[in-house]
Structure 1
Amino acid sequence: MFLRRTGLCLLRSSRETVPLVRRQLATAATAPHSKLEDFRTGETDPANHNKSHLSRFYTIPVDVRKQIFAYGGLPKTFERQTKTFNENCLMVRQPAVELIGYLKRTDFRKPVNRFVLYGKDGVGKSLILAHMLHYGYSQEFVLVHVPWVANWMKRAKETALSSTHEGCLDLPLDGAAWLVHFKHQNAKLLTKLDLKVSREYVWSKRETTPAGSPILELVEHGINRAKFSCDAIAALLQELREQSTEGKLRTMVVIDGFNAFFHPHTRILMENKVRATPEKLTLTKPFLDITSHGWSNGVCILAVDRMALTEDRMESDLPLYQLRREGFEHLDPFVPVRVDNYSEEEYYSCVQYYLNRKWIQTTADGFDKELEFLSGRNPYKLMQLCASV
């Protein structure tokens, strides 16, 4: 018995009675193609996903994937896998269905609800966020999406002294890159909504954005003049908060690694060679403002992750430990949503998918039980075990 594309040798299993789903998996290599379709759902609109679709994979249309995830939002290992499989499929999981249910029952006239995803490493928090981004896109929310906050704190492309906030640092190239991401996700919707800026923004003696200009001009200015990108982001997020509250649009804030905003130190050095704290970065405050409760007609879906911390990773994955006291109080009250390892049904659905894509093959019973034991049904570990060598 063996797994194709890995160096993992599998031991023979006992001849005990195997449940029906395991017998289907053990004979999948020779079974008709139709036998493998139980793990899929044809419902591609995330707004329609409910408990009847749990543990099944749905396909994100190519054009939607290019618009939402062209500049980030999917883990790199998952992206490599989707290129190999030549399709972008996400599993419909309980936390996503739970969040969709909450949003359908939300009164958006009230202050924004904040949802915090948490769980152990590799359980799929980022893919739940990707599912929610697709939902927000399908429901015409303006997306304010940060794929991974820790990239700003650990691997800033460039730093510069802020001209508007004394003693703070701008991340001009990272700010411009985020504005490109925002524009790519939302340009069509913003054009349709025809949003205008509510006030004049003065960037220098010769550069201004007049009141009444299309909001995309604000975005374009930050992209074309990276020097002002962080200030442009602050102005943009303020406009979105105010105009959402006025009922002109609905905004969905999705941030992965949100707890990095509250870590004591970044890896960025100030002029005096002391490591900067997150509040010394001008990108921090706008995203903390838009995740506060002082506006309406929107929603914040955030994920906390041990990997987002620069150092001193907490043993506990609970929000109180990951956010520390400051971050917890910033979000309180919020709705915690736990993401766990695959359930038994989810695990076998994932293995069926890998078999269907011919990513793994088998010639005897028991391979699925050994994969289950080795991975602990952790989605990331399972993906790594089945990855090519």
Structure 2
Amino acid sequence: MLVLTLTGCVDGVKGSGKTMSLCHAVHYCSKQGWLVLHIPDAHLWVKNCKELLPSSYHASRFDQPIQASNWLRNFRTTNEHFLSKIKLRQRYVWTKRESTEEGRPLGELVDMGVSRVKSSSDVVGAVLKELRLQAGGTEGGFRLAVAVDGVNGLWGRTTLKKEDKSPVAPEELTLVHNLRKMINNDWCGGAVIATLSQTGSLYAPSSAYLPQELLGEEGFDSMDPFIPVPVSLYSEKEFESCYLYYLDRHWLQHPHSQTEEGKKELIFLSNRNPSVLERLCAFL
């Protein structure tokens, strides 16, 4: 069965559980036999980069070899059982002496990117290209789940600087350039699941949480059309369930916290925000 590409965008106020909702979706896809392409935090690709090098493939772009090699290592661990089955559809040349031939396993390409850190950014681009081309195919096909936490980090501004101290635009980063192609709704055989995040977001108002506010006009137009999935604060039943769980796990040990008045106080202090409630009940 061919699965069309659907884009779901998870939004909600800070601390409502967007990342955990994404993790649940990723876990479900993995259990159903999908290949998972997971970006745990897109904001880390546009700030605090330890090593930024001019791209050997495209003169106007910049490579991030450390981030790329770390991502390839995690991708290999998550999808190890797929890497020997997926075969490359084209030949990739890295240097005058090094190349990866057509028909070789995808795992060989990933291993090359992990061991040859300098080429890791271009290897990520090649891996994403192969996945985009082969997802949902009839011969040895697979379903692909692209999961990006903090997808709004792919648009806007970065903290990275060029040698002349001018800012680096997101589209000038090799990793961001290639990941944006996976967000486009021009391939089939899977789904794109993304969250919008204020945490780690650069130059965005702290009160912003709606797609238009966090993505900006360019990002919103790039992702449109998508299915918005709002993540709300705890309902009364959800709060009660979490409260009873904390009691069972002995997180709430003060006698007052185990009374009805204590529970009402936790509701007032947390406003049923999952993250705030967790911090209030956490150990010191």
What interval of TM-score do these two structures reach, taking the shorter chain for normalisation?
A: over 0.9
Deviations along 1:217-239, whole A, 9 cap, x unmatched?
11111100011111101110110
Q: Following the alignment from structure 2 to structure 1, what is the Cα–Cα distance between the partners of residues 166 and 218?
A: 22
Residue 177 (str. 1) matches residue 73 (str. 2): no
Residue 256 (str. 1) matches residue 145 (str. 2): no
Residue 295 (str. 1) matches residue 190 (str. 2): no
Q: CA deviation at 1:108?
A: 4.0
Q: CA deviation at 1:362?
A: 4.5
Change (3 A) 1:308 1:362: closer
Deviations along 1:123-167, whole A, 9 cap, x unmatched?
000000110111011011111000001111122231111111112
Contact 1:117 1:337 in 2 (8 A): yes
Residue correspondence of structure 1 range 373-388 to structure 2 within 5 A: 373-388=268-283
Residue type of the alignment partner of 2:16: V
1:154 match: secondary structure: coil
Partner of 1:272: 164
Q: Following the alignment from structure 1 to structure 2, what is the Cα–Cα distance between the partners of residues 216 and 267?
A: 33
Q: CA deviation at 1:313?
A: 2.4
Q: CA deviation at 1:387?
A: 1.4
Q: Following the alignment from structure 1 to structure 2, what is the Cα–Cα distance between the partners of residues 362 and 217?
A: 56
Partner of 2:60: 167
Q: Following the alignment from structure 1 to structure 2, what is the Cα–Cα distance between the partners of residues 139 and 196?
A: 22
Residue correspondence of structure 1 range 87-126 to structure 2 within 5 A: 108-110=2-4, 112-126=5-19
Residue correspondence of structure 1 range 37-76 to structure 2 within 5 A: none
Residue 215 (str. 1) matches residue 106 (str. 2): yes
Q: CA deviation at 1:361?
A: 2.4
Contact 2:42 2:153 in 1 (8 A): yes
Partner of 2:27: 134
Q: CA deviation at 1:211?
A: 0.5
Partner of 1:318: 210
1:306 match: secondary structure: coil
Q: CA deviation at 1:303?
A: 0.4
Q: CA deviation at 1:290?
A: 0.9
Contact 2:45 2:176 in 1 (8 A): no
Between stretches 115-124 and 273-282, larger displacement belongs to: 273-282
2:121 equivalent among 221, 230, 234: 230
Contact 1:245 1:295 in 2 (8 A): no
1:366 match: secondary structure: helix
1:351 equivalent among 225, 230, 243: 243
Deviations along 1:55-103, whole A, 9 cap, x unmatched?
xxxxxxxxxxxxxxxxxxxxxxxxxxxxxxxxxxxxxxxxxxxxxxxxx
Residue 367 (str. 1) matches residue 262 (str. 2): yes
How many residues get paired?
A: 279
Unpaired runs of 5+ residues, structure 2, are: none
Contact 1:149 1:308 in 2 (8 A): no
Q: Following the alignment from structure 2 to structure 1, what is the Cα–Cα distance between the partners of residues 207 and 254?
A: 37
Q: Following the alignment from structure 1 to structure 2, what is the Cα–Cα distance between the partners of residues 219 and 131?
A: 26
**Structure 1 length as normaliser, TM-score?**
0.70
1:145 match: secondary structure: strand
Q: Following the alignment from structure 1 to structure 2, what is the Cα–Cα distance between the partners of residues 130 and 109?
A: 21
Contact 1:307 1:313 in 2 (8 A): no
Deviations along 1:195-250, whole A, 9 cap, x unmatched?
11011100001110011110011111110001111110111011001111424111
Structure whose CA Rg is larger: 1
Q: CA deviation at 1:271?
A: 1.5
Q: Following the alignment from structure 2 to structure 1, what is the Cα–Cα distance between the partners of residues 205 and 9?
A: 18
Contact 2:11 2:211 in 1 (8 A): yes
RMSD, aligned CA:
1.3
Deviations along 1:43-65, whole A, 9 cap, x unmatched?
xxxxxxxxxxxxxxxxxxxxxxx
